[in-house]
Amino acid sequence: GAGVSQSPRYKVAKRGQDVALRCDPISGHVSLFWYQQALGQGPEFLTYFQNEAQLDKSGLPSDRFFAERPEGSVSTLKIQRTQQEDSAVYLCASRDSGGLQETQYFGPGTRLLVL
């Protein structure tokens, strides 16, 4: 079946603009994660959903970042009033069950450039 998809793949925003990044997880996957990856670094955790419930948002860098998954499938990461330091690749991953050792499946990411 289809893997995790993300859109758009690339986004250029002017500083101060709001952006919305979409993640379509693998159908039926309960768990969904968002990560941020700066250039030359490994991905860093942002937030975690189990179905529609956001159980952990400890990695969100500021209150300008907001994520939702209202029906327990598609998720949107929204960044308000973007800043240059928000430029990064935003990765979404999904996992089949609550099993902590289960494989996470990543999407290709959205590359955000804030000018």
Partner 1 sequence: DAKTTQPNSMESNEEEPVHLPCNHSTISGTDYIHWYRQLPSQGPEYVIHGLTSNVNNRMASLAIAEDRKSSTLILHRATLRDAAVYYCILRDRLNYGGSQGNLIFGKGTKLSVKP
How far apart (Å, rounded) are the C-alpha atoms in residues 16 and 19?
Answer: 10
Q: How far is the CB of 37 from partner 1 (least distance, A)?
A: 8
**Cβ neighbours around 65 below 10 Å, total:** 19
Residue 72: strand, helix, or coil:
coil
Taking alpha carbons only, the member of 36, 32, 15, 19 closest to residue 96 is: 32
Q: How far is the CB of 97 from partner 1 (least distance, A)?
A: 10
Q: State which residue, 5 or 73, has the beta carbon closest to partner 1.
A: 5
The beta-strand segments (E) located in 1-115 are 5-7, 10-13, 19-24, 31-37, 44-50, 53-56, 65-68, 75-79, 88-95, 105-106, 110-114
Site residues, partner 1 (CB under 8 A): 4, 31, 33, 35, 40-45, 48, 50, 55-56, 58-59, 91-93, 95, 98, 100-109
Q: State which residue, 37 or 83, has the beta carbon closest to partner 1.
A: 37
Q: State which residue, 81 or 97, has the beta carbon closest to partner 1.
A: 97
30: its two tokens: 């309960």
Q: How far is the CB of 49 from partner 1 (least distance, A)?
A: 9
Q: State which residue, 6 or 82, has the beta carbon closest to partner 1.
A: 6
Q: How far is the CB of 13 from partner 1 (least distance, A)?
A: 20
